[in-house]
Structure 1
Amino acid sequence: MTPAARLYQSLVRADRSDQDVDQQARTGRNGLLQIAANTLQATGDQVVNAKTVLPWALTAVGAPAAVLGLLVPVRESGSMLPQAAMSPVLQRSAHRRSFWLVGAAGQALATAGMALAVATLTGWAAGVAVVALLAVFSLSRSLNSLAGKDVLGRTVPKGERGQINGLSTVLSGAVAITLGLALRLVGGDEVGVGVLAALLGAAALAWVLALLVFAAVREPAGEPVAAADQEGWVSASWRLLREDAPFRRFVWARGLLLVSALSPPFVVSLAAQEGGGGLAGLGPFVIAQGVAGLVGGRWFGRLADRSSQALMTRSALAASLLVAVFLALHLLPATRGAWWLYPVTYLLLALAHTGVRVARKTYVVDMAGEDRRTTYVAVSNTAIGVLLLVVGAVSSALALLGAGVALGFLAVLGLVGAWVAAILPDVSRPAA
């Protein structure tokens, strides 16, 4: 057995009785390379974060609030909405690795451009430049999302994919904690423009390194789909959602699970209204994200390989109940404004979101056959991009009545999502 296979098998637990030595060596090598590339990508994501670092950077350079409000929609929807249209292009290729490399290069260039914009521009100019580059970043990321899951499905068997996602989350979480502590110790409550620009530059370098690592993955050739055999992506997407009931239920469940993604900013808003609530400065936000990944990544990865459907259900239920408890404590005079309430809630929500993310990524790869994996990922992400805009718009409108009202809406949504996830088929175990 090769050293890479031994290292991989010490990190990833699975039943390999049906794999010969050569198969174990190939899986081990490809698995380690994808763990490393995904970790480098996730490390960059900790910096190009539309909820923490980017709004902090634009505030530091005097960008208007109207621009700040575009960051999350552009970052999240921009990487999801184009995927159904991109899917036919990928399906016409026997190899998907090259698309991942193009996406990584695009993210590296966009992030380097953001670093330059933050370092040299101010006000509206800086805001517009960063949002435009974030749109390029998100479009590039859609390629990584599509191609990465397909390559993972081709190179790593069931029972191991969730652990790869989990290990990458753990390692990027450790980096985030280190980064957050450094920001807190060096910058305190204020982080200078120069430091933020340097962080963005380092994130761009992380994607360059990820590109070099992922280029070494050995992906088996798949059967390309001829252009003449493909219908239009809009009609194909609608037909898939209409005819494939298990997939349609997964999309609905994933859309209803947005409680863990959209709740944290409202918790931070309530903390700010109470005078900070222990969340002053950029560092603690980054640390909380890192702790969630470090604590939950590997554990959730193993749980996802056992049953990604069960993990989705429990994580969504936990997020909804957590929001409900938070709202109750926020309304009680004895705990309202308590220094521990807001950072602890933010951390636990980040942990629940880690569970949801690892579970849904593993689920969609496991449920799709070889011929439908790219289509499933693309159509589900495009549909979620639309649902994200709808749910985000509704929660933002409700927030005009108060952040607590928006949180209540998201908690109810999450409970419905947990129920829908509970009736999904379990696809984590190989068919007998």
Structure 2
Amino acid sequence: MANSLLDKLYNKLNNEHGNRVCKDITEDACNHVTRNYFLILLSSTLTKLGDTLSNPKTVLTWLMSYVNAPVSLISLVVPIRESGSMIPQIALTKYINKKPIRKWVWVIGSCLQFVAIASIGFITLLFKGTLAGWLILLAVVVFSLSRSMCSVTSKDVLGKSIPKTRRGTLKGYTVSVSGVLVLLAGLYMLYKSKSDATIDFYSNVVFFASVMWLFGAIIYSRIKEFPQAVSEEKESKNKDVVSKLELLKTDKQFRDFVIARSLLLCSALTAPYYVVLAQTNIGKESYLLGLFIIANGIASIISAPFWGRFSDRSSKNVMAVSVLIASALGIIAYFIISFSETLKSTLWIYPLAFFILGIAHGGVRLGRKTYVVDMAKGNERTNYVAVSNTVIGMILLVTGGLSALVSLISTEDVILVLSLFGILGAYKSYRLPNVEAAKD
């Protein structure tokens, strides 16, 4: 009975009638698509909620400010968290490619993320100042390394378990459902900020976020993953890190994707600068945190299903359209901040901008994740994910130095420059081949 209901729900969500679509997966995996679809949906929803409630651009920055950590340490949180989860992936593939079943790597990584985020909650309660700042950074390093384990395996498990033309839709529903939960969390934080926005409250938020990874690991472990062939080659040149990076030289389509993805970073990198603009022109009242979280949640609810279905038709066009939205927003924001004293002092303009940016960034993420999964198969997919994430991680580490440049150039100038790169990223994305249309 339960399976019948899930099958009906799956068919409705994917507008599927007649025979089950099983493109790009094995016959055994096809028999478990419905079960795996909802297990991935639920586990990903929980971890995305945890991500939002421990976001380094908002929540962790607020926490570190509360414990009086030095600004120099606060500025390191975002680049360490983002690059630390990407750079190790190319080294991890050597180990992961030997595993016929890979979901357990994700489960272990998720459990370690639970430990790392929970430790941040304890640190904020027990320590203050510089010591607290360094301990939080150490926890973020552990979190990032654990996250890299999940990132490099999740797309592989998705590619083995869910058919092509259904993967983007699944990601869209995941973001949308988590967006509802994020919206509720933001409303609660906005309510509590009026009376009880203490360090205990924010620590409890982080504790709650950490538990999401633990529940996510338990659910993910129930996925029915079938073994895939693994290479038993002895250590050789083809197994080292340098040889994997040679994919950028030998595989033109993959190289073009990495270049495009690098230029799409504007949607992520501009986000904290909108927060800085709000704090500069409106103030640092705690309710602003709730407003930004609410705006991001609503953006996910509204846009994710659309981006998901769009990605299953053409993920490269999703990348192009969504980054154009982020770039146009950045250019408009630049002119408002530079030339309109009235608008830049208006409260609603910043949550609105964050809402639009949330829609755009959601499209960028869904588009590029669907593209890399649909572009390859098996170990090739794992290598593509690892190499692209490692390269992007290095770029993020370098661009993390932008925080030091803010004292030399204005925040709105940084947004403008990043937005112009985004326009180039839209062009490069549009020029990519449409992998969803490719035949197996």
TM range (shorter): over 0.9
Q: Does 1:327 align with 2:334?
A: yes
Instruction: For 1:233-312, list aligned pairs within 5 A.
Output: 233-276=240-283, 280-312=287-319
Match of 1:4 in 2: 6
Offset at residue 236 of structure 1 (A): 1.8
Consecutive unaligned residues of structure 2, counting only runs of 5 or more, are none
Q: Does 1:109 align with 2:115?
A: yes
Offset at residue 278 of structure 1 (A): 9.4
Offset at residue 284 of structure 1 (A): 0.9
Q: Does 1:366 align with 2:374?
A: yes
Residues 173 and 294 in structure 1, CA contact (< 8 A), matched pair in contact too: yes
Residues 399 and 406 in structure 1, CA contact (< 8 A), matched pair in contact too: no
Residues 255 and 388 in structure 1, CA contact (< 8 A), matched pair in contact too: no
Out of 411, 416, 420, the residue aligned to residue 403 of structure 1 is 411
Out of 328, 331, 345, the residue aligned to residue 337 of structure 1 is 345
Match of 1:139 in 2: 145
TM-score (norm 2): 0.93
Match of 1:393 in 2: 401
Cα deviation per residue 1:303-342 (whole Å; 9 max; x = unaligned)? Answer: 1111100000001111111111111222233533222222
RMSD over aligned Cα, in angstroms? 2.1
Give the number of equivalent residue pairs. 432
Offset at residue 65 of structure 1 (A): 1.1
* Change over 3 Å in CA distance of 1:13–1:257 after alignment to 2: same
Offset at residue 116 of structure 1 (A): 1.0
SS of the residue corresponding to residue 63 of structure 1 reads coil
Offset at residue 277 of structure 1 (A): 9.8
Offset at residue 238 of structure 1 (A): 2.3
> Which of 8-17 and 193-202 deviates more?
8-17
Offset at residue 38 of structure 1 (A): 0.4
The alignment-based identity, stated in percent, is 34
1-structure distance, mates of 2:334, 2:81: 28
TM-score (norm 1): 0.95
> Which of 334-343 and 355-364 deviates more?
334-343
Amino acid at match of 1:424: L
Match of 2:387 in 1: 379
Out of 91, 94, 100, the residue aligned to residue 94 of structure 1 is 100
Offset at residue 37 of structure 1 (A): 0.6
Cα deviation per residue 1:101-157 (whole Å; 9 max; x = unaligned)? Answer: 111111011111111111211111211111101110111011111111000000101
Instruction: For 1:163-174, list aligned pairs within 5 A.
Output: 163-174=169-180
Amino acid at match of 2:345: G
Instruction: For 1:224-239, list aligned pairs within 5 A.
Output: 224-228=230-234, 230=236, 231-239=238-246
Q: Does 1:81 align with 2:83?
A: no
Consecutive unaligned residues of structure 1, counting only runs of 5 or more, are none
Cα deviation per residue 1:62-119 (whole Å; 9 max; x = unaligned)? Answer: 2121111111011100100000000111001111111001111110111111111112
Amino acid at match of 1:191: A
Match of 2:325 in 1: 318
Offset at residue 227 of structure 1 (A): 4.8
2-structure distance, mates of 1:16, 1:382: 41
SS of the residue corresponding to residue 377 of structure 2 reads coil
